[in-house]
Structures are given as structure tokens and as C-alpha cells.
Structure 1
Amino acid sequence: MPPRILIADDSALLRAALRGLFSEIGDYEIMEAETGAEAVAKAEASRPNVIILDFAMPEMDGLSATRVLRKRLPEIPILMYTMHYTEQLCEVAQGAGVRKVISKSETNSLIAAIQEFLSSPPAAAKSAPATAITATAEDVAFGNANG
């Protein structure tokens, strides 16, 4: 069975581009979600090997989705792939349980991270204290995060 990758991004164009990229570099089963809420539902139903989340999505942003996924599926690595990359976002996202944050301009880093996650044995994610993961997408985007 090929490794399963869940791509959650509100851009259908980006999801299609990543699907095409992964089909060129290996044999992967790709699942897609447009919102954070849809990503949580699909992850629970399909148990992917890796989850790629956008930071800013409708219904439930990437940070909120990460918090839910960490509680329900702590063993699945989550990677945040975003155009809103900042050191502050990295800290908040990693505090919420994201294993790696990668800028959307760094496609090679995304490929390397996915290959790294798929080659290492699954391990439960570390739980962060609740106070370290209270920032919302808007807080981080506007520099108001307390994480």
C-alpha cells in the first residue's frame, strides 16, 4: 500500500500542483481537503501517514486543526506549508504540535520533509502545554500571538 498524504489547503490550484508533484516523485495516495474541519474529518477516516496543512483556511485554520489532530491522532506527523512563514509562526505551530513549518516558496524542503517523515518510524507527538498553543491564525498573522 502506498504512503497516504493528506493535503489541506483552500487553494484547489495548490492542491492540484502538490498532487502532480507527488505523483512525479513517487507512488503516493493523495487525499485532499479544502478546510481545516474537512482535514480533521478525512484524517480520522483515512489515517494518512503525513498531513500537510495550510496555515490560513476557512472554517478552521491550520493551528486549530493541528490542536484537534494532536488530541485525536498524535502519531501522525503534521507539516505546515504556508506563505505566512515567520519565526513566530514556527514557534506557535510547533507548540501546537506541527513537526515542521515550511514556506510555500520552498518546494524542495517540502519534498525532503515528507520523505523524512515517511522514512522514520511513527512516534507520538509531544503534547505542548495549553498556554503555548492559544494563538489563532489572526493573532499570528497580525503579531498578537502569546505562544
Structure 2
Amino acid sequence: MGVRIMVVDDAAFMRMMIKDILSKNGYEIVAEAENGAKAVEKFQEVKPDLTTMDITMPEMDGISALKQIRSMDASAKIIMCSAMGQQAMVIEAIQAGARDFIVKPFQPDRVLEAVRKVVG
């Protein structure tokens, strides 16, 4: 069985880009969510091996969602996605348990490197 990934971003275009990179490289996209609240809900349903999580989203931001998911499943593997200039938030996310982060716009090599590093 391949690595099952959930993609979380409020921008459909960004979700599409990252799904494209991952699925072309043999990863299975099992769920997507457009905000942190939905991400927490879907995480419980599908139990993905890995989640890519945008930091800035409506309803619930990525850091709050990260903390909630990690409180339900301490072994959850989450990679944060951030725009340039969100260093402070990235640091907070790493302290809250994110395994890595990728900067937008996504560079396919960097996305794959982060995923491989996190899922082994």
C-alpha cells in the first residue's frame, strides 16, 4: 500500500498543484480540506499517513488544526505549507509538532524531499 496523504489548503489551485506533484510520484491522495476545521474532521475519518497543511486559512488556521490533530494522534505526520515571510508561524508550527515545511510556490523537488524525509 502506498503512502496516503491528505492535502489541506484554502486555495483549490494550491491543492491541485500539490496533489499533482504527489500523485505523479506514486502517492495516494485520500482526502482534501479547505480549512483547519475540515482537516481535523477528515483526519479522524481517513487517518492519512501524512498531511500537508497550509498555515493561513479561514475558520481554523493550520497551526490550530495541527495542534488539534496532534492532540488526537501524537504520531500524526504533518508538513506545513507557508507563503514567504511566515517564519514566525513556521517556527511555531515546528514547535507544535510539524515535521517539516514547504514554501509556496511549491517546488516539486522540495515537496517530494519533505515527504520522503517525513514518511521515510
Shared fold (TM-score greater than 0.5)? yes
Which residue of the partner structure matches residue 63 of structure 2? 63
Which residue of the partner structure matches residue 17 of structure 1? 17
Q: Report the TM-score when normalising by structure 2.
A: 0.89
Displacement of 1:84 in angstroms is 4.2
Counterpart CA distance in 2 for 1:112 and 1:36 is: 24
Which residue of the partner structure matches residue 89 of structure 1? 89
Query: Could you say if the C-alpha distance between residues 82 and 67 of structure 1 is closer, same or farther in structure 2, counting changes exceeding 3 Å?
Result: same
Q: Give the counterpart letter for 1:46 in structure 2.
A: V
Per-residue CA deviation, residues 53-82 of structure 1 (Å, 9 max, x unaligned), is 001111100010011011001111111011
Q: Give the counterpart letter for 2:38 in structure 1.
A: E
Counterpart CA distance in 2 for 1:49 and 1:88 is: 26
Which residue of the partner structure matches residue 112 of structure 2? 111
Per-residue CA deviation, residues 113-138 of structure 1 (Å, 9 max, x unaligned), is 1112222xxxxxxxxxxxxxxxxxxx
What percent identity do the matched residue pairs reach?
31
Which residue of the partner structure matches residue 51 of structure 2? 51
The one of the two structures with greater contact order (alpha-carbon pairs below 8 A, sep at least 6) is 2
Q: Report the TM-score when normalising by structure 1.
A: 0.74
Query: Could you say if the C-alpha distance between residues 80 and 30 of structure 1 is closer, same or farther in structure 2, counting changes exceeding 3 Å?
Result: same
Answering whether residue 61 of structure 2 is matched by residue 26 of structure 1, we say: no
Runs of 4+ in structure 1 deviating by more than 4 angstroms, as ranges, are none
- RMSD of aligned Cα (Å): 1.5
Ranges in structure 2 where 5+ consecutive residues have no aligned partner: none
Per-residue CA deviation, residues 98-123 of structure 1 (Å, 9 max, x unaligned), is 1112211352222111112222xxxx
Q: Give the counterpart letter for 2:117 in structure 1.
A: E
Ranges in structure 1 where 5+ consecutive residues have no aligned partner: 120-147
Between Structure 1 and Structure 2, which shows a larger proportion of strand residues? 2
Please give the secondary structure, in 1, of the residue aligned with 2:23.
Answer: helix
Please give the secondary structure, in 1, of the residue aligned with 2:19.
Answer: helix
Displacement of 1:9 in angstroms is 0.2
Counterpart CA distance in 2 for 1:46 and 1:30 is: 7
Query: Could you say if the C-alpha distance between residues 25 and 38 of structure 1 is closer, same or farther in structure 2, counting changes exceeding 3 Å?
Result: same
How many corresponding residue pairs? Answer: 119
Answering whether residue 3 of structure 2 is matched by residue 3 of structure 1, we say: yes
Query: Could you say if the C-alpha distance between residues 83 and 67 of structure 1 is closer, same or farther in structure 2, counting changes exceeding 3 Å?
Result: same
Counterpart CA distance in 1 for 2:16 and 2:86 is: 25
